[in-house]
Structure 1
Amino acid sequence: MTETTIGPKRILICEDDPMTQMALQQVLKEHQLKPVESGEQAIEAAEGFAPELVIMDINLPGIDGYETCRTLRGMDSAHNAQVIFLSSYNSLQDRLLAYGVGGNDYIAKPFDNRELLSKIELHGGIVERHQAAWRSVEESTQLLLQVQTSAGNVQSVSRFIQATLFCHDFDSLYWHFFKTAREIELDCILQISTQDYLDTRSVTGNISNLEQEILDMSSTMGRIHQFGQHRAIYRWSTATLLVRRVGDLIDILALLMDALEAGIKKICTETQLMHQVAQIQESNELMRKRVAEQFATMVTEIQDTIISLGLVDALDEEEEERLAHMVEQTREQIDGELDSLNHNNETVRQLIEELRKPPPELQEMMNASADEEETGDMMFF
């Protein structure tokens, strides 16, 4: 007897002759064996045993080996098993029948131990290569799924980065962040904190007291802090993210937080700029009123001076009209300068509003999002 080089295999032995059964078990004792005496028993045993190899007699009580093999080939637990027929029938017709029902090899009785072991090693090697191929397929499939998931996550984050450029308040920024979180299957709580704003919201709407306390006390933590089995805290200057299950998103969430931080700073800058524009416009209106009042006072004083100097009678009608025209012209020039200041403010305001307008495809998405909010199809916390 020669030693096999393959690892132990699950071998189903279907043989009704006790002496042959005993001999097979002795020769194959290095393997995990399941001996049965009929085709019906073989079919029943295969369901739980999931054999890798089958040694099949042809002449069996009940259904014969051919029918048993045909049935095994239709079972999930045995359809990939290597079937070796072992029979005293030795004709070409018998071998053709064995091959036709799904047999992989044929040994004539009485069998030679070396031939049996050689074929067990041959077909055991086929089983191992087949299993390795399936593992490779499964690994490749898993890798492909991971690549597809990663690509999908990157695409979602990319859309969020684009959306942050056109969010003009924190509500819309929260909405787009949580929309992205749902797309990448991220269960999280987000806190936005600026000099004039503080709010904490959850993608699910639920925030426990402990979670709120952790957020409130997280100022001493580093930029990214992982704890427990799946949890993490991302702490940027104006945003803190508590992740309930981080999974494989540890790196992509840093990119998401960078985009969020940029969106927050943009909103703050725009808000300050619009506030300054409004203040300048209000100041211009006050200036207009003061200049108008001072100009009216100046005209009155000029008129009073002319009267007091007795120059009224010295001016003819044409000179009076010329003087009145000069006064009115000066008033119009002053009004024009003030109008130009307001025009500059309006130009700045319009420029800001133009920068806030998203491209058509993003605007369409935002409109769809608004419709979902109104119909209740998507919750916003």
Structure 2
Amino acid sequence: MSDKINVLIIDDDRFVQKLISKTLAASGLSTRTADDGESGIAIAQQEQPDLILLDVEMPGINGYEVCDRLRSLPETQDIPVVFLSSHGTLRERLQGYEVGADDYLVKPFEAEHLLARINVLMRYGAERKELSQRYQQAQQTAIIAITGTSELAQAMHFLEKSLSYSNFDEIAQGLFNTTTRFSLECVLLISANDELHWFSSQGSISPLEKELIEMNDKDSRFFDFGARTIINFPQASLLVKNMPLEDMDRYGRLKDLFPILLSAVNTKINVLATQAALTQQNHELLRSFSQIRGSLYHLAKTILVNRDHSNKLLQDLVHDISYDMMRMGLEEDQEEYLLHRIDSAIEEAMQQMDAGQEISEVFYTINHNLKSVISNQESLVQAFISSQASESTEQSEDDSGIELF
């Protein structure tokens, strides 16, 4: 880590102060300590550190009150804050997030874990600063663009556009286009194929935001805490970070719209999963058909080759026997007996070869039918892909001219 990172440790336990300071100093970080909340706030205002490690339980004002005051001061409102506590329940994490914390570490913790969290928050802070100005400009542009457009119209527009989305990135971007027009900041979690896919309307997600969404009860449709609301569906969860508490009518309208939006997201995720499964199944069927067709072709070819070879052997055998019998000087009845046995064997062999020809013809018919099935299947898949691409293009072309009521 860079030696320019300054960390303020606010903790009433001197031993903990020294232990953390020694750990951070060994990694090139500079530290400053405070024994209580009031002195910590004063130091933070004066020196404005890059990150604050804040104990929850302290004499005087506790860590939650300290964090709340830091977020209300212009000098410290954007400094990342990591709570240090011996308790780590969901309720306590929610309380920390409610007052503005960026992360929450449960004591005791490993030094490597602390350093990793600091590293993540430094990157998160840098991304947030870099994106803040662009986000504000984009938000202002979006607000101007939707002047006179109702929230319901935006939701219906998203439902129509969602039909053309072909991956999770497009789903998230389309949803955020709608929520940004509502002036909302959101984090989206998509769960699919045993994998978690994270998206943010602001470009970055804090570790605590991820923990809150993952630890939330998925059986509850809505989970409200302060100005934050989590909306849960089987394959998607949305954290709205700035619900309009000052306008309860608009708050109620938005809560009516979110199930519609998330239902469309959830349905599209299932559709994409089904399409992927069908496409994979089609590839496997085509591969199996091709292998069967190849095997049947080689089998039929082998039958024909063996038939020709057997026919030649019989012809050679008849020729050799006839020649040998002339030299043996057999009695007439002996010769007739041997010729009868030879004729019977040759007749039976020819019958067997004729049956082989029938089998070969059957194999040829099966092979031809499989070739037709493969061709038809490939045509269907190509037609499906073309229709999807055409639908997506049409949706994109109609996007700018859609009427919103």
Q: So what's the TM-score if we normalise by structure 1? A: 0.50
Greater Cα radius of gyration, structure 1 or 2 = 1
